[in-house]
Structure 1
Amino acid sequence: MSFNSLGTKSDPLVKKTINLLMRNGKRSKAENVLNKVLETLDKDYPGRAMHIFYLGILAVRQDIGVRLKPKPKKRRTRQSFNVYLPRLISPTSGLNIGIRSLLKSSRERSPSTPFWENLSIELLQASQNKGKVVEKRYSLNNLAVSNKRRVHFGIRNR
């Protein structure tokens, strides 16, 4: 099974994933890696590879980010501490961040197994709302929610 038989070569999300997978302009290598990932998913779950791919990508997309505000100047009476400012992330940026974090976590998995196998495992776990990337997303959302009262500090009127 290849890209053409799945009909995914023209899919914008697949194109974006290939572009983020690509290193040093080697598009054909990135296509082959993604093709092996989809074949592995299709072998384990027949006819559901693209569904798992989409669910995994949408599960890791970021909606809210946190920016670290530097410590205020030292004062005698006041303790200085780091302030986390929540911020909204645009949908396209959120997809990029999610796909990048998915690729990063699959690269950090066991080096003895091939990268495409690690990526298929990460996609499968993400589609089930499990795995390292989804946990990281939830912890970041919790951090943003716990600091939402500080949002007015980050708004600047121009």
Structure 2
Amino acid sequence: MISSYEQTKSIKFLGIKSDPLIKKMINLLMRDGKRTKAENILNKALQSLDRDYPGRAIHIFYLGIIAVRQDIGVRLKPKPKTRRNKQSFNVYLPRVISPICGLNLGMRLLLKSSREQSTLSPLWENLSKELLKASQNKGKVVSKRYSLNKLAISNKRRVHFGVRY
């Protein structure tokens, strides 16, 4: 039996489904066309955040998404196949990523890290923990972003900046 408090909470979070970032997160969570399951997972994650931090769940969600967005990507250029071995190592080519693509990549990394966490706890719980860590600029996804930026900065002499859409 669901209490009236829980019903109003779920209605409150389902009312923001028209937001583009919420829609994108639901689409990325969705497996095999099960949209209601994806909505329930995101709803439970936001409810969990709202229980711990009343009234701040959406704010934490947005801060987490903005913290994990990618600005710069690195493409691996393979070793040249020549007789004389001028370059015997792989070359990393930094590239600028468009803001929309960067948000999508960040959300995918966030979901991937929450799925890779322990299988004992449900996905919505792992997702709420990852969103909270990302909103505080901590966690695996944010550290991965910083290491990728560091790799791009160390290879900036090979820059051929063109925006990737």
TM range, normalised to the smaller chain?
A: over 0.9
Q: Which among 16, 31, 45 is matched to residue 8 of structure 1?
A: 16
Identity of aligned pairs, percent? 76
**Is contact 2:74–2:92 with CA below 8 Å preserved after alignment?**
yes
> Which is further off, 75-84 or 23-32?
75-84
Is the 8 Å Cα contact of residues 69 and 83 (structure 1) preserved in structure 2? yes
Unaligned runs of 5+ in 2: 1-8
What TM-score do you get using the length of structure 2 for normalisation?
Answer: 0.88
Q: CA deviation at 1:78?
A: 2.6
Residue among 109, 113, 125 paired with 1:117: 125
Report the count of equivalent residues: 153
**Aligned partner of 1:5: which letter?**
K
Q: CA deviation at 1:10?
A: 1.1
Deviations 1:66-117 (A, max 9, x none): 0001101244463421000000111111111000000000000011111100
Query: Is 1:135 the equivalent of 2:149?
Result: no
The equivalent residue for 2:28 is: 20
- Provide Cα deviations, 1:104-139, integer angstroms capped at 9, x if missing partner: 000000111111000000000000000000000000
Partner of 1:40: 48
TM-score for the superposition, normalised by structure 1 = 0.92
- Aligned residue for 1:86, secondary structure, equals strand
Structure 1 distance, partners of 2:12, 2:115, is 27
Which of 58, 67, 75 pairs up with 1:59?
Answer: 67
4+ residue stretches of structure 1 with deviation over 3 A? 74-77
Taking the TM superposition and a 5 Å limit, the aligned residue runs for 1:76-155 are: 76=84, 78-152=86-160
Paired residue type of 2:12: S
Distance 1:40 1:65 in 2: 32
Structure 1 residues 80, 23: CA separation in 2 closer, same or farther (over 3 Å shift)?
same
CA RMSD of aligned residues (A): 1.4
Aligned equivalents of 1:73, 1:29: Cα separation in 2: 49
1:41 and 1:48 in contact (8 A); partners too: yes
Contact in 1 for aligned 2:72/2:95 (Cα 8 Å) = yes
